[in-house]
């Protein structure tokens, strides 16, 4: 592989015009596709194989035209102190609002509080439900504005009016903090590479890669049913790895220049060595992201594949566009150890003196090699302590109750809880399919009676059959809030009662609704976590055996990843569930952790953790393969790679941290989780635990059974074939000298 990539690097350097034109054309093509594509809607949320989804599909089939997946809004009214919603003036204001909302072009139905039981017992609060024919993300802005205008008109009569539901759902925004993250990355690149031009190359290529990825996602969003969150997560991961991969190639290029190679040769060597690490690091990220498909939640699968595609583009750009741009840069990108004059370069003596002194990576690695056991224990204990909060992890999906108290959705949620009880915000929909029953009406009554007898039930509405009379829906109001354990237990109790009804009558009793859907999602994700870990870690373990030709090094890499991901989950729980540092992180409301957060973090963090493992340990193995003893190889590897890996980690942390400013709670939480995970993995696991373990293992770290060594393909990540080219060239020079003599 090293030889192939070496040739690819030299080709890209020589044919820089062609390569640059290719990527510019690809960016323009993707941009044109995005510009002409319909706007991204809200990806349809389905969970194949769950009872909630089965009931939802049955509703679409048996109750056609009801827009079961349409957006909903609850307009909540509260009377002034001392008044009631049944007072003539207040009642007239509410009915005017209902009439005003009914005229909307996308409105299917508006319920009248005074005819549908929408007034609280004490008469202080009422609500009107609005159903739309399209989903929340597909609503026209005019429909949202009409909803807000109706509420404003009602407020003018003296009522308190708030709006809940998904009709006000907006496309998430990442905020200005993302730009700050890119700014931090730029500063780190300048310090690391010692040149404004060299620092600009990784930023430029990363932006090109993310531009192609995000534009392609936008162009295909409507066709493939991709949600707006998909492009945000793809840009988050693509930007981070794109900068890192380009940084490693540029850094190696400067190191090759410092050894006296020509610029074309240095470009080829950089791609042949660092590029090999980029390929395998990118492959682990792609495996982890594509592996999300095993969960069988289409939205998560699409997010993973889209992000994986962006990572693949970042790899290809690092291998081709970077050497092409280095060709354009010429002498303005200086050898390692030299800075541009603008940054204080040009003092040869100072540079020489500095080169002779051991750098920070050398000093740190030497310290770890001398005290490996102490460093190992300190790192493991520290991460173990950070992981303790993960034991209190509570999973759920966000609802209006998790919104900041400053939003109208949260205030509407609180008013409904006040007037109708906390369970009113999470009603359960029980679907009774009595198609094969002799007496469907009796089945509907039996189901309603058995549900009423269960604990934690406040109200059970009469069964509402369809036109055919073979299927009915029963609305159930729990006593507890939607995210509570009591409500989850009630869902299981209804399903258990439904199983008994099925045994006696043959009718199916299914529970659905947003609350039941959330419970099923959490359960499905929990059930998929172990198979996903086995698949992803297993495939990456095999890949790393091929890369490092060792059993213990990949095993150590996997165990280190588990430590870092558990510690990162602990930090997420501490901030977003317990509320530690919540003000600093912009968390206005704590609550359960997003259900898909653990499995998504496992996938992404594993891929990123293997990035640093490959970049760092490849340099160590390269030194060992070239004859150095294990302890010295660790020091040598850190001398050449610690600075760059540190810079790459800081850049990735800065980029991920930028997404903490997003308006979307999932993006905000994932940004924090990934930034924390990279912090733990890069600076504790890879920079401390990895060298300590390698020092303790010594020569055993590189042990591989002979039969396996013969069976594995030789991918030559450390560039041994390139060293052979050097030896052959040196021998040719010696032969020529002898001939001349």
Instruction: List, for residues 361-382, the tens digit of each pLDDT value.
Output: 899 999 999 999 999 999 999 9
Say how far apart CA 384 and CA 570 lie, in whole Å. Answer: 9
Say how far apart CA 311 and CA 94 lie, in whole Å. Answer: 53
The token pair at 416 is 């409904």
Mean pLDDT of 46-73: 78
Bridge partners, 91 (sequence order): none
Mean pLDDT of 29-41: 77
Mean pLDDT of 44-61: 80
The token pair at 548 is 């490092």
Burial of 436 (0-12, 13-18, 19+ CB in 10 A): exposed
Given pLDDT bands bounded at 50, 70 and 90, which one contains residue 718?
Answer: low
Residue % of the chain over a pLDDT of 90: 30
The pLDDT score that the predictor gives to residue 352 is 47
Comparing C-alpha atoms, which of 599, 611, 580, 457 is closest to residue 535? Answer: 599
- Collapsing DSSP to helix, strand or coil, 475 comes out as strand
| Residue whose tokens read 């000298």 | 737
**pTM confidence score:** 0.78
Say how far apart CA 206 and CA 299 lie, in whole Å. Answer: 25
660-714 per-position pLDDT tens digit: 777 667 778 888 998 999 899 989 998 999 999 999 998 898 888 888 888 888 7
The pLDDT score that the predictor gives to residue 345 is 53
Mean pLDDT of 184-213: 85
Say how far apart CA 224 and CA 444 lie, in whole Å. Answer: 39
The answer to whether residue 312 scores a pLDDT higher than 90 is: yes
The answer to whether residue 403 scores a pLDDT higher than 80 is: no
Given pLDDT bands bounded at 50, 70 and 90, which one contains residue 232?
Answer: confident
Q: Phi, psi (5° rounding) for residue 133? A: -85, -10
Comparing C-alpha atoms, which of 163, 647, 735 is closest to residue 408? Answer: 163
The token pair at 34 is 């995005």
- Collapsing DSSP to helix, strand or coil, 705 comes out as coil
The pLDDT score that the predictor gives to residue 48 is 79
The token pair at 68 is 């079961």
Least confident of 62-66, 280-284, 420-424, 710-714: 62-66
Say how far apart CA 352 and CA 665 lie, in whole Å. Answer: 51
Mean pLDDT of the chain: 83
The answer to whether residue 92 scores a pLDDT higher than 90 is: yes
596-641 per-position pLDDT tens digit: 788 878 877 887 777 778 888 888 887 887 788 889 999 998 988 8
The answer to whether residue 438 scores a pLDDT higher than 90 is: no
The answer to whether residue 465 scores a pLDDT higher than 50 is: yes
Mean pLDDT of 495-518: 89
Given pLDDT bands bounded at 50, 70 and 90, which one contains residue 737?
Answer: low
Contact 105, 146 (CB under 8 A): no
Given pLDDT bands bounded at 50, 70 and 90, which one contains residue 320?
Answer: very high
Say how far apart CA 129 and CA 74 lie, in whole Å. Answer: 5
Comparing C-alpha atoms, which of 473, 454, 471 is closest to residue 463? Answer: 473
Given pLDDT bands bounded at 50, 70 and 90, which one contains residue 482?
Answer: confident
Sign of the C-alpha dihedral computed for residues 709, 710, 711 and 714 taken in this order: positive
- Collapsing DSSP to helix, strand or coil, 127 comes out as strand
Say how far apart CA 107 and CA 358 lie, in whole Å. Answer: 71
The token pair at 321 is 């566009």
Q: Which three-class secondary structure string do you get for 100-126?
A: HHHCCCCEEEECCCCCCCCECCCCCEE
Mean pLDDT of 287-307: 84
The pLDDT score that the predictor gives to residue 65 is 64
Mean pLDDT of 245-256: 89
Contact 419, 120 (CB under 8 A): yes
Say how far apart CA 732 and CA 467 lie, in whole Å. Answer: 90
- Between the ranges 25-29, 50-54, 173-177, 223-227, where is the mean pLDDT highest? 25-29
Contact 251, 640 (CB under 8 A): no
- Between the ranges 220-224, 346-350, 588-592, 609-613, where is the mean pLDDT highest? 609-613
The token pair at 368 is 């770890």
115-130 per-position pLDDT tens digit: 877 899 899 999 998 9
The answer to whether residue 455 scores a pLDDT higher than 80 is: yes
Q: Which three-class secondary structure string do you get for 521-586?
A: HHHHHHHHHHHHHHHHHHHHHHHHHHHHCCCHHHHHHHHHHHHHHHHHHHHHHHHHHCCCCCCCCC
The pLDDT score that the predictor gives to residue 432 is 92
Pairing of strands 107-110, 125-132: antiparallel
Comparing C-alpha atoms, which of 404, 428, 400 is closest to residue 412? Answer: 400
Given pLDDT bands bounded at 50, 70 and 90, which one contains residue 85?
Answer: very high
Least confident of 177-181, 187-191, 633-637: 177-181
599 or 309: which leads in pLDDT: 309
The pLDDT score that the predictor gives to residue 348 is 45
Say how far apart CA 103 and CA 93 lie, in whole Å. Answer: 16
The answer to whether residue 325 scores a pLDDT higher than 90 is: yes
Mean pLDDT of 580-607: 78
The pLDDT score that the predictor gives to residue 543 is 81
The pLDDT score that the predictor gives to residue 351 is 45
Contact 644, 247 (CB under 8 A): yes
The answer to whether residue 248 scores a pLDDT higher than 90 is: no
The token pair at 9 is 């690097």
Which residues contact residue 610 at a Cβ distance below 8 angstroms, ignoring those fewer than 6 apart? 281, 284, 285, 540, 544, 557, 561
Given pLDDT bands bounded at 50, 70 and 90, which one contains residue 228?
Answer: low
Say how far apart CA 213 and CA 219 lie, in whole Å. Answer: 10
């Amino acid at each position: 592989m090293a030889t192939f990539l070496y040739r690819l690097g030299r080709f890209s350097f020589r044919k820089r015009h062609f390569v640059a034109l290719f990527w510019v054309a690809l960016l323009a093509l993707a941009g044109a596709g995005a510009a002409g594509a319909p706007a991204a809607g809200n990806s349809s949320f389905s969970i194949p194989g769950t009872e909630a989804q089965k009931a939802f599909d049955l509703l679409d089939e048996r109750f056609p035209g009801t827009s079961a997946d349409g957006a909903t809004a609850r307009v909540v009214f509260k009377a002034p102190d001392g008044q009631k919603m049944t007072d003539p003036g207040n009642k007239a204001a509410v009915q005017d609002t209902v009439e005003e909302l009914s005229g909307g072009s996308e409105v299917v139905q508006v319920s009248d509080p005074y005819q549908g039981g929408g007034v609280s017992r004490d008469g202080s609060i009422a609500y009107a439900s609005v159903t739309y024919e399209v989903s929340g993300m597909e609503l026209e802005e005019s429909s949202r504005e009409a909803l807000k205008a109706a509420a404003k008109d009602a407020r003018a009569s003296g009522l308190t009016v708030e709006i809940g539901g998904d009709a006000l759902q907006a496309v998430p925004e990442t905020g200005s903090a993302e730009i700050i993250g890119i700014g931090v990355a730029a500063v780190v690149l300048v310090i690391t590479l010692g040149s404004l031009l060299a620092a600009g190359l990784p930023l430029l290529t990363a932006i090109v890669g993310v531009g192609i990825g995000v534009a392609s996602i936008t162009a295909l969003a409507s066709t493939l049913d991709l949600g707006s969150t998909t492009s945000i997560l793809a840009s988050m991961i693509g930007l981070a790895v794109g900068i890192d991969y380009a940084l490693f190639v540029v850094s190696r290029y400067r190191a090759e220049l410092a050894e006296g190679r020509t610029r074309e040769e240095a470009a080829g060597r950089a791609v042949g060595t660092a590029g090999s690490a980029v390929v395998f690091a990118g492959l682990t990220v792609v495996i982890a992201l594509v592996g999300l498909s095993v969960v069988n939640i289409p939205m998560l699968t699409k997010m993973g594949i889209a992000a994986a595609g962006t990572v693949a583009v970042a790899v290809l750009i690092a291998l081709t566009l970077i050497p092409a741009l280095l060709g354009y840069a010429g002498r303005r990108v200086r050898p390692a150890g030299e800075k541009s004059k603008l940054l204080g370069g040009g003092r040869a003596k100072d540079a020489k003196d500095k080169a002779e002194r051991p750098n920070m990576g050398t000093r740190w690695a030497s310290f770890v090699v001398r005290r490996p056991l102490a460093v190992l224990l300190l790192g493991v204990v520290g991460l173990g302590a950070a992981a303790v909060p993960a034991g209190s992890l509570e999973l759920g999906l966000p609802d209006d109750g998790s919104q900041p108290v400053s939003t109208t959705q949260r205030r509407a949620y609180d008013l409904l809880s006040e007037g109708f009880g906390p369970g009113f915000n999470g009603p359960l929909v029980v679907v009774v399919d009595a198609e094969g029953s002799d007496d469907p009406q009796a089945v509907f009554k039996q189901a309603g009676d058995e549900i009423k007898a269960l604990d934690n039930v406040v109200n059970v509405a009469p069964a509402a059959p369809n036109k055919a009379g073979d299927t009915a829906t029963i609305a159930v109001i729990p006593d507890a809030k939607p995210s509570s354990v009591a409500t989850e237990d009630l869902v299981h109790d209804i399903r258990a009662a439904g199983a008994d009804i099925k045994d006696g009558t043959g009718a199916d009793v299914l529970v659905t609704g947003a609350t039941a859907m959330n419970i099923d999602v959490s359960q499905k994700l929990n059930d998929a976590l172990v198979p996903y870990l086995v698949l992803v870690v297993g495939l990456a373990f095999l890949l790393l055996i091929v890369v490092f030709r060792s059993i213990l090094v990949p095993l150590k890499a996997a165990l280190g990843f588990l430590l870092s991901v558990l510690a990162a989950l602990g930090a997420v729980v501490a901030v977003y569930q317990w509320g530690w540092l919540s003000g600093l992180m912009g968390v206005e409301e704590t609550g359960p952790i997003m259900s898909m957060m653990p499995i998504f973090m496992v996938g992404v963090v594993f891929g990123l953790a293997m990035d640093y493992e490959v970049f760092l340990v490849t340099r160590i193995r390269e030194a060992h393969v070239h004859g150095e003893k294990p302890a010295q190889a660790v020091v040598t590897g850190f001398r050449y790679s610690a600075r760059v890996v540190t810079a790459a980690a800081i850049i990735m942390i800065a980029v991920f941290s930028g997404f903490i400013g997003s308006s979307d709670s999932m993006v905000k939480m994932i940004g924090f989780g990934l930034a924390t995970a990279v912090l733990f993995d890069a600076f504790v696991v890879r920079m401390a635990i990895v060298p300590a373990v390698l020092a303790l293992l010594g020569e055993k770290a590189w042990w591989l059974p002979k039969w396996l060594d013969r069976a594995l393909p030789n991918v030559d990540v450390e560039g041994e074939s390139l060293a052979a080219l050097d030896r052959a060239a040196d021998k040719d020079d010696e032969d020529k000298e002898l001939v001349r003599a």
